Homo-oligomer: A and B are copies of this chain.
Amino acid sequence: MASKDRILRLKDDTRNNILAASIDIVKEEGWQALSMRKIADKIEYTAPIIYEYFANKDAILNELTRQGYVKLGNLMQQAISEHSDPAEQLEAMWLAYWNFAFAEKELYQVMYGVEVNCCAMQNMCPDIQKPMNMLWDKIEEIIPADKRTEEYVDTKYYTCWSVVHGLISINMTRKLTSDEMNKQVLKDAIGGIIASMK
């Protein structure tokens, strides 16, 4: 029955429309503005029909997450294919990861639980800046005078911060690394960066 196929294809279409509408809304207004009724509006239905395609709102987020990983995988595959040396391939893969994060910012946010909405950055009161300044000043102190430019201190500061914050985030969102592994990574990375300063 070809008509059955057509109907299934149509069902698939609205499923994709739901996902597309969701991403559209998020791109326009951010994740916290995404609601079932807004999605329904965009695909010109009422909210309950969405539940014929997805169990709940979380299921939509999960599917978008999955699609994000598929896209990321493809970009990495492409990165590999553009180089022959393994080390260059690896570097290209991480660069692809980096580029993906900003090209598909909204997908990256839901994939890795990066919240944007609130606080922290707008009202930059002294209390908030203090820990950062303490670290920055200490790094400045360690770097020998002949290398001590603002840019150089910045680089070291952000490198340290990135690896520590990154490892913390990874541990908080998915708990799959052992404690010894964490200490190892932390010690190695921080130690390495500090050594490279002197």
Q: Give the B-binding residues of A (Cβ under 8 A).
A: 58, 61-62, 65-66, 69-70, 72-73, 76-77, 80, 86-87, 89-91, 93-95, 97-98, 101-102, 105, 108-121, 123, 125, 127-128, 130-131, 134-135, 138-139, 141-142, 151, 154-155, 158-177, 181-182, 184-186, 188-192, 194, 196, 198
Contacts and interface: CB of A to CB of B under 8 A. Distances in A.
A87 to B, nearest CB: 5
Contacts of A130: 69-70, 73
A175 B21 CA distance: 27
Given A90-B135, A134-B76, A138-B86, A116 B69 contact: no
Contact of A173 (B108, B115, B159, B185): B115
A35 to B, nearest CB: 15
A77 B163 contact: no
25 contacts: A58-B119, A61-B119, A62-B119, A66-B125, A69-B127, A73-B127, A73-B134, A76-B131, A80-B138, A86-B138, A87-B142, A90-B138, A93-B135, A95-B186, A109-B172, A114-B168, A121-B176, A155-B184, A158-B181, A158-B185, A159-B163, A159-B185, A159-B188, A162-B164, A164-B166
A94 to B, nearest CB: 5
Contacts of A90: 135, 138-139, 142, 194
Number of copies: 2
B76 A128 contact: no
